[in-house]
Amino acid sequence: MIEVKALKKRFKLTKEHQQKGKSKDVREHDGYFHSVQNVSFSCSQGEVLGLLGPNGAGKTTTLRMLSTALTPDSGHIHINGQNIVKKPLIGRKSIGFLSGSTGLYGRLSARENVEYFAKLHGLKGKTLKLRCEALFDMLDMTSFLDKRAEHLSTGMKQKASIARAVVHQPDVVVLDEPTTGLDIMTTQTVINFIRGLKNNGTPVIFSTHHLDEVALLCDRICVIDKGVSFFDDSIAQFKAQGNSEELNQAFMNLLQGAGHV
């Protein structure tokens, strides 16, 4: 289980930016951009949480704090009772994180990339071999395993990046827009993989702009805007509070009702 409570993160504005005059973004004040001001949510075993919000809402900054790439200014992140803000090494072992910047080594094959990161996490021998083979099958990677990463298509790279992110069988998986730019077949493979994680009891957090994916996968939704989470509850409650059975309309109604549009 992962519990996120009252996260905050600000970034110092450059002098050049401050000299340009008043910004339209209310999060810019006191010489800082307050990217995340108060974000809280939770995701239990076998749940999938959809992280929603407009562009620039603070979702990616939030996810980077979950990955321990950024340290919160305040707030708590607990995974199975462990505070990973205070113990980031435990966090890196506990979380499988995929973002748009999750890279592969271009001169290594897809197989070599995944096996390399498996070894970094301490896997070796038969355990490494069996884990990688299982992932390659689940993500339908067998046809391009020995191709260099620099020659892979967008979809192939994304599958290899997902395998790299979860090869160590993390306690929580965090995916930042995992299907963006993918074709229909690759998107379906990713969706099926997330379902497999859910069936195995792994909490999954993923941000997306595709609410059809939310309808297919999610048990819970968290909505963030202007660095604040103002909804964290079930799909049923999302529809009820958004006053619509259509997720797109419910999302817009919630934003408007909270004064975020």
Distances (CA, A) of 185 to 25, 80, 189, 190, 215: 39, 34, 6, 9, 18
pLDDT at 25: 78
**pLDDT tier, 180 (very low <50, low <70, confident <90, very high otherwise):** confident
Per-residue pLDDT tens over the stretch 47-73 = 999 999 999 899 999 999 999 999 999
Q: Give me the pLDDT at residue 261, please.
A: 53
Question: Which one, of 90, 97, 116, lies nearest residue 105 by Cα?
Answer: 116
User: What tokens were used for 176?
Assistant: 């930042």
Per-residue model confidence (pLDDT) at position 99: 85
Is the predicted pLDDT of residue 219 greater than 90, yes or no? yes
According to CATH, the topology of domain 2-99+172-257 is Rossmann fold (3.40.50)
Cβ atoms within 10 Å, residue 43: 24
User: pLDDT tens-digit profile of 109-155?
Assistant: 999 999 999 999 999 999 999 999 999 999 999 999 999 999 999 99
Q: What is the pTM of this model?
A: 0.91
DSSP 8-state symbol, 241:
H
pLDDT tens digits, 2-47: 999 999 999 998 877 666 666 667 899 888 999 999 999 999 999 9
